[in-house]
A and B are shown apart, each in its own frame.
Chain A
């Protein structure tokens, strides 16, 4: 009961932020009704997906301060579970979704238990390694289609709510928007929960946290598993939305880095951070990447630009765009 209350309790956030949140929400709900290109719709869907990835990342990376660069492995587990179950056993999305989340969470315990013996950069490097190993395994595993990946066959009747097959993108958009809202409420509950407080204490000082009865290792594993559930759920959705998945697409290092980067750019450890980050980087990735790709000799320059952004953020305000907002507000007071 209290968890529900915590999820709906935004009273500790400034009124101005809540005002902006309501406006943004109104925009998100009405976006499909406005005139838009299909490219803009695809960009919005990606924005919602990356917001959710970032929210997941933020639980362990932001609140817990454990920089995770291996989130793509869980995107992959979610996506592959849904695709394999759909193709081989004709299982609808709504059943494979929890199975995928369950498998990913199970795998996250296997990975998390040894990896959280490591700290800081060593932890980050190890997460990259485990993710890449899993990707390599999938590339040679024929059961899941190897490096060529899997393609989900169309059922032929639209709209298909069981298998999530739609002709128009706005169906996907609204399903994702609902997931986005559930995710946001979950993060809000997490922030107020015992585990949320304990993680923030761990980020502050592990010795002090331990002296207050916090099992640091286990708390990190629990938060990591929770973060995983988010990411795997979006992975499952991704499989249905794209019809086509391959390891290079859903399990690549690029994806892991992008997830972490968006959350950090927006503001790690704040509820809005991952959303702000996705709102900046996803359109930039799509529109700028697209435009640069058309200019001779400039293709790939957007990647260099990401690097520059990260360097500037790290040097100027490690808490990202939201950190800048907070700093400005503190100065005004």
Chain B
């Protein structure tokens, strides 16, 4: 049984078709990448899966249950956590308190929530920041806290929307290592969007490519990058034709 089954999901905003009949399965323990050029509909698809808004048509099944049309907080309680692309740190909460909000999903006890939060921070290597205010931290650390908060809710599947955005190459490297540990040691399945392609390619078992709201390719990263449709989506018709010409000359 697949952990996540997305069947024929479409999302329209008025006349705009953001997603058109997208289907895919994500198996338990899998790391899957969702890529595509800007505006391909990646975040919309995430939002439909996470219950941020309902899809116009199609169904989403999680862990065997039809979750189409459930509210985002109901989906979260079933073990599907997410991070947001735009993350604004603000406010009153210390780092550890922020993470505790995540752990309160399964317990009413402050003691237990605090213990979960502290061990999660430790796992992500930011235990020393526990007492700091969010606004005092650099962006990379804030993103780790957001990740910790999602992790503290003990999810089965984690949707990561552009976690690498705004980070420098060495920070991305650290993040990849971290996500791989999350996957390996906690056994959490990952679905990530990214337009930093190296990151997705390095991590994913399988990749799905969206363009203009439609799925145009699916497969292992090494296969997908060779797919002419994908090359065309990323680099344009012009490039594909030139490549074909050059290949013809070589032969």
B is bound to A: yes
Given contacts A6-B110, A269-B92, A198 and B101 within 8 Å (CB-CB): yes
A86→B149 CA distance, assembly (Å): 52
| Interchain CB contact under 8 A, A200 and B110 | no
> Which chain B residue shows the least CB distance to A268?
B92
Is B118 in the interface zone, CB < 8 Å from A? no
> Which chain A residue shows the least CB distance to B112?
A2
Encode B81-110 as 1/0 by CB contact (under 8 A) with A. 110100010111100011011101101111
Given contacts A197-B104, A269-B92, A208 and B84 within 8 Å (CB-CB): yes
Given contacts A200-B93, A203-B91, A210 and B111 within 8 Å (CB-CB): no
Output the residue of A203, A204, A205, A209 with the most chain B CB within 10 A: A204
Which of chain B's residues 105-152 have a Cβ closer than 8 Å to chain A?
A: 105, 107-111, 113, 146, 149-150
A190→B90 CA distance, assembly (Å): 21
Which of chain B's residues 45-75 have a Cβ closer than 8 Å to chain A?
A: 50, 52, 71-73
Encode A237-272 as 1/0 by CB contact (under 8 A) with B. 000000000000000000000000000000001000
Q: Give the chain A neighbours of B195 by CB distance below 8 A.
A: none
Stretch at the interface among A27-35, A45-53, A211-219, A298-306: A211-219
Is B26 in the interface zone, CB < 8 Å from A? no
Is A201 in the interface zone, CB < 8 Å from B? yes
Is A117 in the interface zone, CB < 8 Å from B? no
With both chains docked as a complex, state the minimum distance between the C-beta of B44 and any C-beta of chain A, in angstroms.
15
Q: Give the chain B neighbours of A6 by CB distance below 8 A.
A: 110
How many interface residues does chain B have, given as a range?
20 to 34
Is B77 in the interface zone, CB < 8 Å from A? yes
| Interchain CB contact under 8 A, A197 and B92 | no
| Interchain CB contact under 8 A, A211 and B72 | yes
Is A192 in the interface zone, CB < 8 Å from B? yes
* Contact partner, B92, options A203, A213, A216, Cβ 8 Å: A203
Output the residue of A2, A194, A212 with the most chain B CB within 10 A: A212
A12→B7 CA distance, assembly (Å): 49
> Which chain A residue shows the least CB distance to B72?
A210
* Interface residues on chain A, number (Cβ under 8 Å): 23
Given contacts A2-B110, A2-B111, A212 and B102 within 8 Å (CB-CB): yes
Is B153 in the interface zone, CB < 8 Å from A? yes
A216→B50 CA distance, assembly (Å): 16
A192→B112 CA distance, assembly (Å): 12
A214→B102 CA distance, assembly (Å): 9
Is A119 in the interface zone, CB < 8 Å from B? no
* Contact partner, A194, options B91, B113, B149, B150, Cβ 8 Å: B113
Q: Give the chain A neighbours of B92 by CB distance below 8 A.
A: 200, 203-204, 269
Which of chain B's residues 216-234 have a Cβ closer than 8 Å to chain A?
A: none
Encode A78-105 as 1/0 by CB contact (under 8 A) with B. 0000000000000000000000000000
| Interchain CB contact under 8 A, A213 and B76 | yes
By secondary structure, the A interface counts as helix
Q: Give the chain B neighbours of A121 by CB distance below 8 A.
A: none
Q: Give the chain B neighbours of A200 by CB distance below 8 A.
A: 91-93, 97, 101
With both chains docked as a complex, state the minimum distance between the C-beta of B69 and any C-beta of chain A, in angstroms.
15
| Interchain CB contact under 8 A, B109 and A212 | no
| Interchain CB contact under 8 A, A211 and B91 | no
| Interchain CB contact under 8 A, A197 and B81 | no
Q: Give the chain B neighbours of A210 by CB distance below 8 A.
A: 71-73, 76
Is A193 in the interface zone, CB < 8 Å from B? yes
* Contact partner, B84, options A2, A201, A211, Cβ 8 Å: A211
| Interchain CB contact under 8 A, A204 and B91 | yes
Which of chain A's residues 181-205 have a Cβ closer than 8 Å to chain B?
A: 192-194, 197-198, 200-201, 203-205
Encode B152-183 as 1/0 by CB contact (under 8 A) with A. 01000000000000000000000000000000
A209→B84 CA distance, assembly (Å): 11
Q: Give the chain B neighbours of A201 by CB distance below 8 A.
A: 93, 98, 101
With both chains docked as a complex, state the minimum distance between the C-beta of B115 and any C-beta of chain A, in angstroms.
13
A123→B109 CA distance, assembly (Å): 31
> Which chain B residue shows the least CB distance to A191?
B110
With both chains docked as a complex, state the minimum distance between the C-beta of B153 and any C-beta of chain A, in angstroms.
6
With both chains docked as a complex, state the minimum distance between the C-beta of B82 and any C-beta of chain A, in angstroms.
5
| Interchain CB contact under 8 A, B93 and A215 | no
Additional 15 contacts, C-beta under 8 A, given A197-B113, A212-B104, A213-B153: A2-B109, A2-B111, A192-B110, A194-B110, A197-B104, A200-B91, A200-B93, A201-B98, A201-B101, A205-B88, A210-B73, A212-B73, A212-B102, A212-B149, A215-B71
**What 8 pairs across the A-B complex have the smallest Cβ distances?**
A213-B76, A213-B105, A204-B91, A201-B101, A213-B77, A210-B72, A210-B73, A194-B104
Listed by A's residue number, 5 A-B pairs whose Cβ atoms lie within 8 Å are A2-B111, A200-B92, A200-B101, A210-B72, A212-B81
